[in-house]
C-alpha cells in the first residue's frame, strides 16, 4: 500500500495555487508575492493565509479560494515527471495506491482528472483530502500504508506516524537536504526513479532471509521504529 501526496509530488500545482490565491486576495484589495506563496505550498490554507495575508479573514478567504480553485487553479496544473509511472508501478506489483492530500477532496479529484491520473493503472484506489502532517499519518495507518511519498517535511511526519517508509521527492519548495534532515528514509530528485526504488523495497520486504520489517530497519545505522 503506497500513499502519495498530491501538490508538488504528483503534480506541479504551483501556478494554479498562486493564480487562485492572487484572485481571492485581490477581491479584498490584498496583493501577494508569488515567491512567498511558493514557500507555503503544502501547508493548510488557513495557516498559509494567516502567515502571508494577515489582513484577511483566513476562514472566509479559504472558503472563497476553494470556490475559485476549479476556475483558476486546475487548468494550469501539470503532471510531474514519473508520476504516472509511479502509480502504475504500485499497481503492477499488485499494490494499492492512495492519494492523501491537504487539498479538499473535490479539488484533489478535479486535479487528478485534469492530468489523467483518474482511471485504470494510473487511477488511485482511494482519494482522501483535507489532512496535513500527523493527521495524514493517522489515515495512512488506518489503510496500513507501507510507504508514503511526499515533498514536505509534514509528509515525512505523516509517514513516521503511520509507521510507513518515508520517500521524499525534491520537486517542491523543500530542498533534498532539508527533507533528509526531517527524517526521510530516502530522498529522490523526482519520481522518475521511484519504480526502481519500489521494486528494491518490495524485494527486500519479500526476502525470507531478510528480517526487514520496515524501511527504518532496512537502513544501516537507522534505529528501527
Residues within the interface to Mg ion (CB under 5 A): 5, 7-8, 42, 151-152
Closer residue to Mg ion (CB): 64 or 136: 136
- HEC per residue, 92-136: HCCCCEEEECCCCHHHHHHHHHHHCCCCHHHCCCEEECCCCCHHH
* Minimum distance, C-beta of residue 223 to Mg ion, in the bound complex (Å): 27
Closer residue to Mg ion (CB): 5 or 146: 5
Closer residue to Mg ion (CB): 7 or 185: 7
* Minimum distance, C-beta of residue 216 to Mg ion, in the bound complex (Å): 22
Determine the Cα–Cα distance for residues 41 and 179; give it in Å rounded to an integer: 15
Closer residue to Mg ion (CB): 5 or 12: 5
* Minimum distance, C-beta of residue 1 to Mg ion, in the bound complex (Å): 19
- Angle (CA) 86-137-16 rounded to 5° is 55
Determine the Cα–Cα distance for residues 132 and 225; give it in Å rounded to an integer: 22
| Chain center to CA of 39 | 15
* Minimum distance, C-beta of residue 132 to Mg ion, in the bound complex (Å): 10
Give the relative orientation of helices 105-115 and 58-72 as an angle to the nearest 10 degrees: 20
Amino acid at each position: 500500500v503506497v500513499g502519495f501526496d498530491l501538490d508538488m509530488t504528483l503534480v506541479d500545482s504551483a501556478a494554479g495555487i498562486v493564480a487562485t490565491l492572487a484572485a481571492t486576495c485581490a477581491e479584498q484589495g490584498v496583493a501577494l508575492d508569488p515567491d512567498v506563496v511558493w514557500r507555503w505550498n503544502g501547508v493548510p490554507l488557513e495557516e498559509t493565509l494567516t502567515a502571508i495575508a494577515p489582513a484577511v479573514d483566513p476562514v472566509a478567504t479559504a472558503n472563497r479560494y476553494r470556490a475559485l480553485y476549479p476556475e483558476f487553479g486546475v487548468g494550469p496544473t501539470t503532471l510531474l515527471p514519473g508520476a504516472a509511472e509511479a502509480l502504475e508501478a504500485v499497481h503492477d506489483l499488485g499494490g494499492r495506491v492512495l492519494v492523501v492530500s491537504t487539498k479538499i477532496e473535490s479539488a484533489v479529484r478535479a486535479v487528478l482528472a485534469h492530468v489523467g491520473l483518474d482511471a485504470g493503472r494510473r487511477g488511485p484506489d482511494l482519494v482522501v483530502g483535507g489532512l496535513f502532517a500527523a493527521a495524514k499519518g493517522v489515515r495512512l495507518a488506518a489503510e496500513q500504508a507501507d510507504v508514503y511519498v511526499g515533498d514536505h517535511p509534514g509528509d515525512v511526519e505523516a509517514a513516521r506516524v503511520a509507521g510507513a517508509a518515508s520517500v521524499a521527492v525534491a520537486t517542491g519548495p523543500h530542498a533534498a537536504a532539508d527533507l533528509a534532515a526531517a527524517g526521510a528514509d530516502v530522498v529522490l530528485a523526482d519520481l522518475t526513479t521511484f519504480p526502481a526504488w519500489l521494486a528494491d523495497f518490495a524485494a527486500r520486504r519479500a526476502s525470507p532471509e531478510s528480517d526487514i520489517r520496515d524501511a527504518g530497519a532496512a537502513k544501516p545505522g537507522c534505529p528501527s521504529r
